[in-house]
Chain A
Amino acid sequence: MDLKPDMTIMDIINEPTLTYREIVLNLAKFAENSVDSITYPEREADLLRRDVIFDMGEGLTPYRPRYCVPDYDLFFKNGSKFLELEPPTDIWSAVGNLMCLYHNLTGAGALPVFAGRLDELLEPFITDEAEAKKAIKMLLVHVDRTIGTAFLHVDLSPRKTRAGMIILELSEEMRRPCPNMTLLYDPDVTPDDYALRAIECGLSVSKPCFANHRLYSSETKDYAVVSCYNVLPTGGSGMTLTRLNLHRLPALASSVDDLLERVIPEVTAAMCTVIDCRIRFMVEDCHYFERNFLCKEGLVRFDDEHMVGMFGYVGLAECVNAMLGAKDKSERYGSCEKADALGEAIMDKLAAEMSKYKPKYGHYALHAQSGVTFDTESSPGGRIPIGDEPELPRHIAQYARMHQHCVAGCSEIFPFDETAKKNPTAVLQIIKGAFSLGARYLAFSSSDSDLIRVTGYLVKKSDIEKYRAGTANLNDATSLGYNANTYSNLFARKVRKTQ
């Protein structure tokens, strides 16, 4: 999706790369955007107009939370009155109930972004592994062919489970971009043989990614990784994702001091106000939490702990480089201590200012946003720009340092050359090292894979060729991948040659 904003209804209907369902969703988005539902204060409206703050295309009428993270454990325990489902009793009713719930989840893209900590959910129902494999395959085929979005995320628990092994095996067999997948990895809990199995799978089909479970669970006890590496409380909502375009700030600042002491406090307060306006509208004018069965049945909870206003940002590197007038790579963000120190100071200030704001609903958390299709002037979150990557050890340490405050998630992608496939132990050692330094999340892949990670989601290179030829295909992220590569040259991410 991600269509050009000036498209008419007939343009949408006649767009040959859209499936029928995508046409319907785009027509609905067209309707949402036909009314200006939220009135922002003048300062906030101005910053939105000038693209300092970006609403992430959520639209002008946010009538439901952007991301829905249902409490699947509770759903399995109680079933659902609204969906007329009893608690599951075997592997078939377990996957059947999940399919029913997936199709009744809400979200800004009208599609689910979290499919559950699937191995943990299904493990108790495995009696016969061959039968379990059939059932899980049915579930995965179903979500790929009907939900078909690479923003749908499956989490795997840190423990080695039979269900987890089956899911990895099927992911490698099926070679599909949907669902996206993350292993919640804790070196103290996850055995090496299971982590290595996941790495082999990752080098083959670019998933799962690894999340630093020890770190994330210390901040959000029961959390999920959803969509593009958003980290949210289970049973909660990512209410809205509003984004601060840090690369726009140098034009507003007269000096580094001015940036840190005046500009950032101002734009951070404005960001918080925009998020607040959007959430108030959702809660007070659209009554989502009063009416939807997910909330009535406790699967999504209406309290400050579970409702998250996601404070996104991009363009830290571009902001730093512009403020310092850094030309040569040795002076730029990622390769220069002075630049990195400024990057860290900006992030510290942003986090401190954000925490001063008292929102009416929920709490706010920082998210290093991984980019949208038409970004050409900014790198995702605090990532080092493509082409500026330093050597890997420095790159990883810098990544950990710049994303310390990203409680609501961040990511970095490391494509390795194919020698990694013969030595997954080496990749595991890198992951362990990165997590010991406080890195939150690592995505990796092998450079020869057809499945390729674009900002956060996966697309197939072969699907992109079909899209280029003007035909629709199953994964709604394919067009995003095509455009992202066209605009940002993303596929040029430095491949890590390991000799």
Chain B
Amino acid sequence: MRAPVNKIIPFSFVDGFGNRTAIFLQGCNQSCLYCHNPETINLCFACGECVKICPEGALSLENGRVVYDIKKCRLCDGCLRVCRFCSSPRVRELTPSQVFDEVWPNLPFIDGVTVSGGECTLYPDFLRELFTLVKAAGRTTYIDTNGQTPLWPLTELLAVTDKTMIDLKSGDDGEHRKLAGLGLPTVIRNIEETARLGKLYEIRTVCVPGVLDNERTVRLGAGLIARYPEVRYKLIKYRPFGVRAGVLDGVPSPDDAEMARLRDISVSLGVTDVVVT
């Protein structure tokens, strides 16, 4: 069993509790307008455009696949810029134990691992095996998800998952579909079910002024988690950095006053831990 691994960041301070190794899997079932790493959305189908422009010769076409030589790559990101299909040739198909081998040297320094994406819950069996290895090494396991895969039936996966971190992108089903391509009900149920199980670390909302009804989203999110004081609400300022051109051109980041207003709303609805970032 393998999953497409986009990258592994040995130490991340922003993907859950403490210091964590963050593993990004390729492929997503949504396509959000404001996606900050659109190169993780689709699997590569070997059109070969990137092979032509790689200045280090780190990419080659072999048997209908783009082969990536990690040793030659200088991470100039030229391949990501030239790709018209929101993909990346720098993806490795790895087994859970291969990923664990790369996590292993980090174990003394980390509280645990977080698997993100793309959308990591597209690979539930892979997650379950990887997490089993991580748990056996005494470290914690977090899933970072858009909430579109029903998690509550995946009891074996949840048994080896310490926490989930779930996006709440919109408080309105229609708006959610327009923004992300899929609707809201599964996201809400995932938040409810994982919170009930004590397996929800945080929910996150990216606030985009003038485009989304941020207040409505925050009111929904706060209502869902207010009775679970250990769950935090992370309110994220929209930032144009990394977002595809021609999608949200000219949309500014929300100012501090707007973020403070949204934070105050969630606090007034009973959320004790609100982080603005």
Q: Which residues of chain A have a CB within 8 Å of any CB of chain B?
A: 330, 391-394, 396-397, 416, 419-420, 422-423, 425-430, 432-434, 436-437, 496, 498-499
Instruction: State how many residues of chain B have any CB contact under 8 Å with chain A.
Output: 22
Q: Are B110 and A433 in contact (CB under 8 A)?
A: yes
Question: Which residue in A397, A436, A496 is a CB contact (below 8 Å) of B11?
Answer: A496
Q: From residue A4, how far is it (CB to closest CB) to chain B in Å?
A: 41
Q: Are B110 and A429 in contact (CB under 8 A)?
A: yes
Map CB proximity to A onto B13-26 as digits: 1 under 8 Å, 0 otherwise. Answer: 11101111010000
Q: From residue A415, how far is it (CB to closest CB) to chain B in Å?
A: 13
Identify the stretch in B39-47, B101-109, B263-271 within 8 Å (CB) of chain A at 4 or more residues: B101-109
Residues from chain B with a CB closer than 8 A to the CB of A392 are 10-11, 109
Main secondary structure of the interface of A (DSSP, over half): helix
For B11, B14, B110, B111, which residue has the most chain A Cβ atoms within 10 angstroms? B11
Q: Are B13 and A393 in contact (CB under 8 A)?
A: no
Residues from chain B with a CB closer than 8 A to the CB of A397 are 105
Q: From residue A323, how far is it (CB to closest CB) to chain B in Å?
A: 24
A127–B275 alpha-carbon span in the complex (Å): 38
Q: From residue B117, how far is it (CB to closest CB) to chain A in Å?
A: 14
Q: From residue A427, how far is it (CB to closest CB) to chain B in Å?
A: 8
| A436 in contact with B105 given A426-B11, A499-B12 (CB within 8 Å) | no
Q: A425-B18, A429-B111, A430-B19 are in contact. List 20 more A-B contacts (CB 8 A).
A: A391-B10, A392-B11, A393-B10, A393-B11, A397-B105, A419-B13, A419-B14, A422-B13, A423-B14, A423-B19, A426-B13, A427-B19, A429-B18, A429-B109, A436-B108, A437-B108, A496-B11, A498-B19, A499-B13, A499-B14
A425–B109 alpha-carbon span in the complex (Å): 11
Residues from chain B with a CB closer than 8 A to the CB of A436 are 108
| A499 in contact with B108 given A425-B17, A430-B19 (CB within 8 Å) | no
* B137 adjacent to chain A (CB < 8 Å): no
A392–B10 alpha-carbon span in the complex (Å): 8
Q: List 24 A-B contacts (CB under 8 A).
A: A330-B71, A392-B109, A393-B10, A393-B11, A393-B106, A393-B109, A394-B105, A422-B275, A423-B19, A426-B111, A427-B19, A428-B18, A429-B19, A429-B111, A436-B108, A437-B108, A496-B11, A498-B11, A498-B12, A498-B13, A498-B14, A498-B19, A499-B14, A499-B22
For A419, the closest partner residue in chain B by CB is B13
A79–B10 alpha-carbon span in the complex (Å): 53
Question: Which residue in B12, B17, B18, B109 is a CB contact (below 8 Å) of A396?
Answer: B109
Q: From residue A119, how far is it (CB to closest CB) to chain B in Å?
A: 27
For B9, B17, B107, B108, which residue has the most chain A Cβ atoms within 10 angstroms? B108
Residues from chain B with a CB closer than 8 A to the CB of A419 are 13-14
Q: Which residues of chain B have a CB within 8 Å of any CB of chain A?
A: 9-15, 17-20, 22, 71, 105-111, 275, 277
For A396, A419, A425, A498, which residue has the most chain B Cβ atoms within 10 angstroms? A498
Residues from chain B with a CB closer than 8 A to the CB of A496 are 11
A423–B9 alpha-carbon span in the complex (Å): 17
Question: Which residue in B105, B107, B109 is a CB contact (below 8 Å) of A430?
Answer: B109
A443–B143 alpha-carbon span in the complex (Å): 32
Residues from chain A with a CB closer than 8 A to the CB of B9 are 499
Main secondary structure of the interface of B (DSSP, over half): mixed
Residues from chain B with a CB closer than 8 A to the CB of A423 are 13-14, 18-19
For B20, B71, B106, B107, which residue has the most chain A Cβ atoms within 10 angstroms? B106
A427–B18 alpha-carbon span in the complex (Å): 8
For B103, the closest partner residue in chain A by CB is A393
Q: From residue A335, how far is it (CB to closest CB) to chain B in Å?
A: 11
For A427, the closest partner residue in chain B by CB is B19
Q: From residue A429, how far is it (CB to closest CB) to chain B in Å?
A: 4
Q: Are B109 and A434 in contact (CB under 8 A)?
A: yes
For B15, the closest partner residue in chain A by CB is A499
A477–B9 alpha-carbon span in the complex (Å): 37
Q: From residue A218, how far is it (CB to closest CB) to chain B in Å?
A: 19
Residues from chain A with a CB closer than 8 A to the CB of B18 are 423, 425-426, 428-429
Residues from chain B with a CB closer than 8 A to the CB of A429 are 18-19, 109-111
For B17, the closest partner residue in chain A by CB is A425
A220–B30 alpha-carbon span in the complex (Å): 59
Residues from chain A with a CB closer than 8 A to the CB of B106 are 393
Q: From residue B232, how far is it (CB to closest CB) to chain A in Å?
A: 12
Residues from chain A with a CB closer than 8 A to the CB of B111 are 425-426, 429
Q: From residue A421, how far is it (CB to closest CB) to chain B in Å?
A: 9
A144–B142 alpha-carbon span in the complex (Å): 46
Q: From residue A487, how far is it (CB to closest CB) to chain B in Å?
A: 28
Q: From residue B70, how far is it (CB to closest CB) to chain A in Å?
A: 11
For A498, the closest partner residue in chain B by CB is B13
Residues from chain B with a CB closer than 8 A to the CB of A430 are 11, 19, 109
Q: From residue B139, how far is it (CB to closest CB) to chain A in Å?
A: 10
A32–B110 alpha-carbon span in the complex (Å): 52
For A429, the closest partner residue in chain B by CB is B19
A330–B71 alpha-carbon span in the complex (Å): 9
For A426, the closest partner residue in chain B by CB is B19
